[in-house]
A and B are shown apart, each in its own frame.
Chain A
Amino acid sequence: MKADPRQFRQDSARAIGDPTLRANLRHTLGRIRARRAEALAAIEDVEALRRIGNAIKQESLRRLPRLLEQLEANLVRNGVRVHWAETLAEANGIVLAIARANGVRLAVKGKSMVSEEMELNAFLAEHGIEAIEADLGEYIVQLAGQPPSHIVAPAMHMNRHQVAALFHDKLGAPDVPDIEAMTALARRILREKFQRAGMGITGVNFAIAETGTLCLVENEGNGRMVTTVPPVHVALMGIEKVIARLADLPPLMRLLTRSATGQPISTYFNWISGPRRPGEKDGPREVHLVILDNGRSAIYADAQLRETLDCVRCGACLNICPVFERIGGHAYGSMYMGPIGKLLTPQMAGLGQAGHLVGASTLCGACFEVCPVQIPIPALLLRLRQEASQPSPAGRALVRGAGGARNPAEAMVWKGWQVLHDSAAAYRVFARLAALAGDRLPAFGPLKAWARHRALPRPAPRSLHRLLRDRPGE
């Protein structure tokens, strides 16, 4: 499966027509929504907590360059090597150089969205280095040769029967849909990989500037394995992950795990502040951090779109999204899917490539309602829709590919719409014609698309304007 956001219409149509996928999505999303709701019902005043989460992210972003420098200085003091990458190619090159310097043939990975962004596995494979995903969901989709379909639950699109068939096919396991047995098999296989691997690769959930600490949230223990057993640990993060203080962690964690999986806290919460120290018996000899930009600094420059960078990757907006529920994650053709993906992908890949994604929303606002850091996703989608067709006047930061999704025919339609609605006289004629057309409206163009799923709407014979004008006594 090749990820390509331009295929959205075809891929989403295929997903809608796939009853197994639809059933899998309904089942898992139903469960995850219930768990989130239950976890948040157990604490008082969630709204105030969301405002605190938002305030922490805003304050961190406000001081972003200084915090990144502070983080770097403290990490270096702690013995971590810090690398900076403007582009995906640079980031891949840095990881490869570290691997080569250490003679790495096999790398094990924890979940990392940045590594998906980099398409790191494929890149390393091209250079003779095998990278194995250790998160169970990531391991499953890697075996299947697919990208993750969800940022938290990568294999949510598959059911146990499909996983069993996959394990049978790829691992020679009996084709039995026993979740415990399949989990045990993955445990056995990956335990051996952890011990053989020359390098562990992870993402970062939060990086704390004041101490030089990288925080990693996980449930399986794969994050601990990957950052403990191999001799080298490489952490990958986007520039927006830095927060100022240790004291910022508790409220953000409180929001993150409850929003993501409905847990009060994840099973493991790792704070990594350096490599193995003298006297310590285990832990990596080297710890590296790669700080990636890849378009984020451009997002940062826009006062409104900057809020995109508040995201803590909890996946709650995907889980609640009625569009995501119908099409799943793969249709978005990007490692960031769902509502937050509709913001991130077009800003990173450019509106020319992915501008239509910002239109694939009803603006129902469910995503904003659940976002633990209050990202105003619908408002930002509207802003990007504007940038896609009518780039902002000079003086505002330019969104990548602005104007790139402009459709001249659509622009003419809206110009025509304006002419019919900005004068009372023109509108009166338009309304009169619509009324005359009545149910004789021909089903062409947009009406044809409408008529596939619904009866055509029927303009009333007399408009409200006329009803009120013609009332006795008016």
Chain B
Amino acid sequence: QFGPCRVEGVVLQKLWEAFRAVKDIVQAQDNITGVRLLRKEVLQNVSEAESCYLIHALLKFYLDTVFRNYRRKAAEFRILRSLSTLANNFIVIVSKLQLSQENKMFSTWESARKRFLLFQRAFKQLDREAAVTKAFGEVDILLTWMEKFQQL
């Protein structure tokens, strides 16, 4: 339950299994250890109301940019299967996040957008391939944050 948005049909456990299967391979490729894209200012103290906008923006970015650009490496490292599990479940989540446009509380949306822009700016400051590798390696940070909004 991301604030006003409810998502069903995704089992986070499956996503964790998919990521853990590749975590060591992916994170070993990240040489820029002093930088974190999903840092505290992006994910900490996110209000329930903000969470729907933020999760939508982050997952869309992962689908459109991170996973897409990591595909060649994924094929090289033979981890396409895990990438496929993560990406297809992110598609399910994004498709179920009904961002109600009508009563979009502008201030909440704006606050969520600022957080996302912090992440995106940090991403763009790195070399493209390094940024994609680092972002993929930070999927565990993303899943941990998403778990906080999980209702069993």
Task: Answer yes or no: are A and B bound together in one complex.
Answer: no
Footprint of B on A, CB under 8 Å? Answer: none
